[in-house]
Structure 1
Amino acid sequence: MAKLKIEIGEPIFGPKFMDGGVNFGLFSRNASKVILELYENFYDEKPFFSYELDKEDNKTGDIWHVYIKNIKDRTYYGWRVDGEYNPKIGKKFNKNKLLIDPYSIAVSGTYDFSEHQIYGYDKSTENDLTFSNKNSSSCSCKSIIVEDKNYNWEGIKNPRIKFNDTIIYEMHVRLFTMNPNSGVENRGTFNGLIEKLDYLRNLGVTSLELMPVFEFNPDSNINKNPKTGEKLKDVWGYNPLNFFAVTGNYTTGLRLGEQVFEFKNFVKEVHKRNMEVILDVVYNHTGEGNHYGPTISFRGIDNEIYYILEKDKRYYANYSGTGNTLNCSHTVVKEMITDSLRYWVKDMHVDGFRFDLAAILGRDSNGNWIGDLSLLKDIADDPIISGSKLIAEGWDAAGGYYVGEFPTGWAEWNGKYRDTVRKFVRGDKGQVGDLATRIAGSPDLFKKDGRNPTNSVNFITAHDGFTMWDLVSYNRKHNYLNGENNNDGTNDNFSFNHGIEGNTDDIGILNLRKKQIKNFLVILMTSQGTPMLLMGDELLRSQNGNNNAYCHDNELTWVDWSLEKKNKDILNFYKKIIQFRKDHFCLRREHFFTGQDYTGDGIADVTWHGVKPYSPDFSYDSHTLAYMVSGEDFLDPEHLIDNDVYVALNSYTKPLEFELPSLKNKSWYLIADTSKNSPNDILDKPVKVDLKYMVDAKSSIILISK
């Protein structure tokens, strides 16, 4: 290696390759000393180079910076930050801890919670007010310098799929292909997922929403499986160590920067197939945990800047439910988050983001909701980020529920849609009126400030909660293997086992469960809004009633690909009803229904019915709803003409005859009847029907006009 040459550098965050060298920049307002260290190997305790930044020359404002010429690409590095250590006032500097650079785009290794060296306090005392003199460099994570600007995207562009044409598929990179029967060579990796992209394209989904891919530590879970004694994992990855680094947990090579390029390869291959990549991002907290957690990065860089602290600054506000809350209203933190999002858009070419517990990003440093005055508004208005899909989980662990209150530019997971549809299909009373509102795109939540139905992300299942098969197979959660005495996971599942809890050989129950799943899909795919599906639901994947399987990296959570053949009837229904939605623009409107007749033929843009035309039963005891969506849309600038679509839903326990609304010079044709067995449950060629149709118990139908 050529001799390293040191210069003052520029006040720019993170490592940046410049003129044959690397410029390093780190924010720390309250530090008294900052040291940069370079390492040959991940497990090295001693650096091959160490440089203490001069407080006069190497600091501009609150940014410490240095430029070093002749550094090799893929060099390990880290920061040591010195200052006052007094947890009672929120200061936790400890120069004995090697820290990850918040702006590094690759991180190597993980850490073991049992290693006392990674804690800023003396772990042996279990007293966070003590001070640790132990050096953490041999067992903590290290940042990696990676030059990635010359990646060849081959001219492949983002597909820019319109929101109203979007069908989201929420998935986990590792769990999707980790099963040995997945048939892929590189199981559990980005490369392995590339091998399954044609399956996803053929399914019909447009946008792959990846559960977190920021660097995280899968070994951070301290619980054990009570049945096997095996140490459990943090498989989902909702405890990020860094907001720029793609995780090395899903790479096929060494964790020495290859993860950056394997992720880019994955995105490029997705775009080649005209699909999108949406990232589930966690900006509300970090993996450093509560006041007893390790000192890995932010805590040791400037604790009272990066985190929201309680009045007793020894402790962290816990709006996230994970032990800490990122201070998203602080200028420096806001800049870091927007810089992170810009990086994923510009450098990694991702198409959108789903924000975990996004309500936290709308709070000020005192925890108050400030909505349009918050980081949420900054993100939506950012000239680079605003072109991406922005999707919020509109609640947090502190009881905040702000669905429908996010700034213009945001779509939101619609938890009310999920719950209402589940209750109706289960057979609960008092749901029909609200169901109509949800099917119409939830105008009560989103019809304001220029928003439209696509801002409602409609879903039945997601990673939190039951899979679709478990939703119709269990009355209650079964999370005992999580090691938390079945106390974790929600109890509000609105599920029903249809006669037997869990597995059964009863063919009647099995067929009823399948029918209910098809009913869910009929509602989801004919609702205004943006539909989202969960990984493996199309195969009837089960987690044996576990509705919070975040900690299992085994057959419980791995997609079982033998189900593709076993449950091909349901897979076929998924494919065809997805295509049906794509074929009918009237189900994908970009504006809310008005109830007006724009064509003069007596048919409004939407009409509601019961067993009799134009007579919906919104009473408490009702179990039926039918709706007709007009095929003409005068509010659409292209004035497209489509078939009228009629849907009838019967969640009652007996068959009911529905009288269909009459049409001028047209007839009704059957597309789907969930009471039928495959392939007659959804037809390739529509069949003409009379003006009366018997809808079986717990069934639904779709008709089109011709």
Structure 2
Amino acid sequence: MPNTAPISGEAAVHTPLPRTIHLVPLDRIAGFDVRPGFYEINGAAAIPGGVSFTVHSHGATSVELLLFHREQDEPFAVLPFPQHYRIGNVYSMIVFQLNIEEFEYAYRVDGPYDPKKGLIFDKTKYLLDPYAKAVTGQSQWGAKSPFGQHYKARVVKDDFDWADMPQPLIPMEDLIIYEMHVRGFTKDPSSNTAHPGTFSGIMEKLDYLTQLGVNAIELMPIFEFDEMQDYREVDGNILYNYWGYSTVSFFAPNTSYTASTEYNREGNELKQLIQACNQRGIEVYLDVVFNHTAEGNEKGPFFSFKGFDNNIYYLLTPDGQYYNFSGCGNTMNCNHPIVRQMILDCLRYWVTTYRVNGFRFDLASILGRSEDGSPMGAPPLLQSLAFDPILGNVKLIAEAWDAGGLYQVGTFPSWNRWAEWNGRYRDDIRRYLKGDEGCAQWAALRIAGSQDMYASQGRVNASVNFITCHDGFPLWDLYCYNEKHNLANGWNNTDGANDNNSWNCGAEGETDSPEINALRKRMCRNAFALLMCSRGTPMFLAGDEFCNTQFGNNNAYCQDNIISWLDWNRLEQNRDMFQFFQYMIAFRKHWRVLRTQTGDGSCGFPDVSFHGAAPWRDRPFDGHDRYIGVMFSGWERDAGPQVVYVASNAWWEDLTVTLPQLPASMHWVKAVDTWTAEQSETPVNGMQAVVRERSVAVFVAK
């Protein structure tokens, strides 16, 4: 009688935990009982008594499964997939007598070698499962093998209890997004955390985030990446791939961000963070990088996608070279059906298994390129993500440009589902605030919600407004430096953007001048006040609230040190700035008319109107204007009429402004004045008010 084992039959393809229904004969390979696996479940899935391993390759001629003892470099067993275990291009095999806590796995794939056709199969390479849920050897930061040699995977047991936790489901217009780097947020000793540089470290700061008032955090890449990829030494300092925009595995969390090693339960600490945030009404977004991988070009490492189907996963030139629209060596072939399905599977996995609330897509314009690199009018991938039922409630935010020159801010294919990082908001507000000519009209439009870009498309909440992010100067440096200071990166200051639209306020870098430092703080308050008083979704960089600095480095991608880490000592040094940020966030939350249209206007005013020093402009702002007034008017059901007038004076002189006439039952109150650090409401005597030089004042009707 042949060996048999319990298995579920055809229903097994829909679930990794099948019920025992009948017995199926077993084969035996390398000392293990095996049988065909679950062809529709990609990756490794634990079942009672064994593990199902499933991979696919269009061009492969054979596949081998390699089993390793934990943290060993050579396999203790090699299991070739029998050809009759292959259906179509899918190889699937259940291996019995495996304890998931005692082994790691990889693959070897054989096939044709013809580089000019993009075929580079190499049966000597150990390949990481593209659907790996955990990558081994990654838990200690800075101790990984350069260029990702011998990546292996673990089988993950998903037994995290989410209990009855509801998701916050915060509307886009009500969000206040706080962008952070997991390691840099608490790595410096000044954070006073028990687990610096980890997901747990962030959890220790949740009271702080709640006090600040943000209700969404955007985590820079947490997919598994190899920080040793850019490992080098410059002037005695070790440089790394610190930011992590170079994915090794799309389904696996970066385990070096955990406080302890999570053998076969990788991801639990991240899940605890997401659960704790959601319980506090804070959503969690992931910055995801599907535009390229860590395998680079033909000179880069070879550890996963190149070995399974190089000519499918990457955009290749007619002679088999790599298109480089990412600026990182390769470009993923995102609209190929295989890659498109993997990306959709990946996002669904993070939403269902980790309860992630949203995604920011790095260099998202690449996601809309065809196989020859040209932009598509209706990219299948973007459309699939827009209408996918599992992703129905998550935020989809595009960085609507790429390194190949495609810039789609305001025109990103959206189906009214995608929001965009509004790079034009950043540039126009920066230029206006430092006093450039010809910027007033554009700044006014950005404050009003970039209606010139989105209104005709009906994309009311498409704009994610930001003045600072990880890429570029933090807010304090924006007003401390005219030029980038990136010598520490080792590229002779040639890296990083040159068009920062920054202003040093009179001295390059740190200074002891009380006048210059006071002006710098006021400029920071100006920027944040306008951000909080603009229609759209505001986002700002962690540490801006206490004047964190990168010492003039505007491209700190490789700096795993105090250049990139938050210096929490500055929180006490700049407590007044933190309190101003608190005040403005609370102000925005109170005045709904700042966040969205609330009706046809009130008091006879339109929803949005523009004003100069005299009210009601009948012409656009001209090139000499440096004052703008933007008034929002509406009706809040529980609060009655809401009228907010945002007055911004980028002149270097005080300006007397006449405010619009209110109904007799109402009067103007000055609620915000960036000229001073402390804020309080002050009634306006009459219809005129002085807006001090280089300052912002916000008036509300009471």
TM-score (norm 2): 0.92
1:457 counterpart residue number: 464
8 A Cα contact 2:120 2:310, kept in partner: yes
1:19 shift after superposition: 3.7
Q: State the AA in 1 paired with 2:55.
A: L
- What is the CA-CA distance between 1:297 and the residue it aligns to? 0.6
Identify which range, 656-665 or 349-358, moves more after superposition.
656-665
2-side partners of 1:544 and 1:259: how far apart? 36
Q: Do the aligned residues in 2 keep the contact of 1:286 with 1:324 (CA within 8 Å)? A: yes
Q: Give 1:422's aligned residue.
A: 430
Q: Deviations over 1:393-418 (max 9, x none)?
A: 00000000011222120000000000
Q: Measure, in 1, the Cα distance between the counterparts of 2:436 and 2:669.
A: 30
Are 2:186 and 1:177 aligned? yes
Unmatched 5+ residue regions in structure 1? 120-135
* Correspondent of 1:632 among 625, 635, 640: 635
Aligned residue runs from structure 1 range 151-550, under 5 A: 151-225=160-234, 227-228=235-236, 230-254=237-261, 256-313=263-320, 315-405=321-411, 406-407=413-414, 408-452=416-460, 454-550=461-557
2:685 maps to 1:704: no
Distance 1:366 1:651 in 2: 46
Shift of 1:108: 1.2
Give the SS at the match of 2:609. strand
**Using the alignment, how far apart are the partners of 2:656 and 2:80 within structure 1?**
81
Deviation at 1:687, TM superposition (A): 3.7
What displacement does 1:87 show? 2.2
Counterpart-to-counterpart distance in 1, 2:77 and 2:471: 45
In the other structure, the counterpart of 2:609 is 607
One-letter code aligned to 1:467: P
1:205-227, CA deviations, whole angstroms, 9 ceiling, x for partnerless residues?
Answer: 110000000000000004432x2
C-alpha distance in structure 2 between counterparts of 1:111 and 1:347, whole Å: 21
Q: Kindly indicate whether the alpha-carbon contact (under 8 Å) linking 2:601 and 2:633 is maintained by their aligned counterparts in 1.
A: no
Question: Whole-Å Cα distance in 2 between the matches of residues 391 and 617 of structure 1?
Answer: 31
| Kept after mapping to 2: 8 A contact 1:243/1:340 | yes
Secondary structure in 2 aligned to 1:215? Answer: strand
CA shift, 1:312, in A, is: 1.4
Residue type of the partner of 1:15?
A
Letter in structure 1 aligned against 2:623: Y
Q: Contact between 2:138 and 2:255, CA under 8 Å: does it hold in 1? A: no
Q: Residue 598 and residue 553 in structure 1: after superposition, are their counterparts in 2 closer, same or farther (change >3 A)?
A: closer
Q: How far is 1:164 from its partner?
A: 1.2
Q: Is the CA contact 2:315–2:323 (under 8 Å) kept in the aligned structure 1?
A: yes
Please give the alpha-carbon distance, in whole angstroms, between the structure 1 residues aligned to 2:146 and 2:630.
60
The 8 Å contact of residues 175 and 537 in structure 2, kept in 1 or not, is answered as yes
Q: Paired residue for 1:106, among 114, 117, 134?
A: 134
Aligned-partner residue type, residue 674 of structure 1: T
Deviations 1:129-164, CA, capped at 9 Å, x for gaps: xxxxxxx9xx5221111111x211122121111111
**Structure 1 counterpart of 2:60, one-letter code:** A
* More moved, 8-17 vs 208-217: 8-17
Counterparts of 2:270 and 2:516 in 1: how far apart (Å)? 43
Task: Letter of the 2:518 partner, please give it.
Answer: N
2:146 and 2:499 mapped to 1: Cα distance? 38
Aligned-residue identity in percent: 42
Q: Is this contact kept in 1: 2:138–2:256, CA < 8 A?
A: no
Counterpart Cα distance in 1 of 2:131 and 2:270:
18
Quick one: distance in 1 between partners of 2:481 and 2:493?
A: 15
Q: Residues 617 and 303 of structure 1: is their aligned pair in 2 closer, same or farther, counting only changes over 3 Å?
A: closer
Residue of structure 2 equivalent to 1:618: 621
Residue 124 of structure 1 corresponds to: none
Is this contact kept in 2: 1:586–1:629, CA < 8 A? yes
**Stretch moving more, 139-148 or 287-296:** 139-148
1: CA distance, partners of 2:638 / 2:438:
37
Instruction: Confirm or deny that 1:143 pairs with 2:153.
Output: yes
- Separation (CA, whole Å) in 1 of partners of 2:512 and 2:151: 49
Indicate conservation of the 8 Å contact 2:441/2:621, yes or no.
yes
Q: Which residue of 2 aligns with 1:133?
A: none
Aligned to 1:674: 674
Q: Per-residue CA shift, 1:192-244, capped at 9, x if unaligned? A: 1110111011111110000000000000004432x22x331001100000110
What is the identity, as a one-letter code, of the residue corresponding to 1:605? D
Match of 1:7 in 2: 35
Give, in whole Å, the separation in 2 of the partners of 1:188 and 1:572: 25
The match for 1:22 is: 51
Aligned to 2:105: 77
Aligned to 2:18: none
Q: Distance in 2 between matches of 1:210 and 1:310?
A: 34
**SS of alignment partner, residue 245 of structure 1:** strand
Q: Deviations over 1:299-352 (max 9, x none)?
A: 111111111111210x20001000000110110100000000000000100000
Q: 1:627 and 1:282 mapped to 2: Cα distance?
A: 37
**In the TM superposition, what are the counterparts of 1:117-136 in structure 2 within 5 Å?**
none
**SS class of match (2:622):** coil
Whether contact under 8 Å (1:8, 1:67) holds in the other structure is yes
Q: Which is further off, 438-447 or 568-577?
A: 438-447
SS at 1:644 equivalent: strand
Confirm whether residue 656 of structure 1 aligns to residue 652 of structure 2: no
Equivalent AA in structure 2 for residue 612 of structure 1: A
- Say which structure is richer in strand: 2
Q: For the structure 1 residues 617 and 653, does the alpha-carbon distance in structure 2 shift closer, same or farther, using more than 3 Å as the test?
A: farther
3-state SS of paired residue (1:220): helix
Q: Distance in 2 between matches of 1:652 and 1:221?
A: 45
User: SS where residue 632 of structure 1 aligns?
Assistant: strand
Mapping 1:535-614, distance limit 5 Å: 535-589=542-596, 598-599=601-602, 601-614=603-616
Matched residues, number:
665
Contact 1:361/1:374, CA 8 A, preserved across alignment: no
Report the AA paired with residue 641 of structure 1. Answer: G
In the alignment, the residues of structure 2 paired with residue 371 and residue 146 of structure 1 have an alpha-carbon distance, to the nearest angstrom, of 39
Question: Structure 1 stretch 176-185 or stretch 5-14: which is displaced more?
Answer: 5-14
Aligned match of 1:90: 118
Letter matched to residue 79 of structure 1: Y
Separation (CA, whole Å) in 2 of partners of 1:310 and 1:460: 37
TM-score (norm. length: structure 1):
0.91
Residue matched to 2:8: none
Q: Give 1:110 deviation, angstroms.
A: 5.0
Q: Does 1:695 align with 2:681?
A: no
Native 8 Å contact 1:15 1:22 kept in 2: yes
In structure 2, do the counterparts of structure 1 residues 14 and 656 end up closer, same or farther at CA, with 3 Å as the change threshold?
same
Is the 8 Å Cα contact of residues 369 and 376 (structure 2) preserved in structure 1?
A: yes
The alignment yields a C-alpha RMSD, in angstroms, of 2.1
Give the Cα separation in 2 of the matches to 1:639 and 1:274: 22
Matched to 1:671, the amino acid is A
Displacement of 1:260 in angstroms is 1.0
SS at match of 1:242: strand
Distance 1:181 1:517, change over 3 A: same
Structure 1's 609 and 79: CA in aligned 2 closer, same or farther, altered over 3 A? Answer: same
Q: Deviations over 1:671-700 (max 9, x none)?
A: 111112x32xx22x4544431111111011
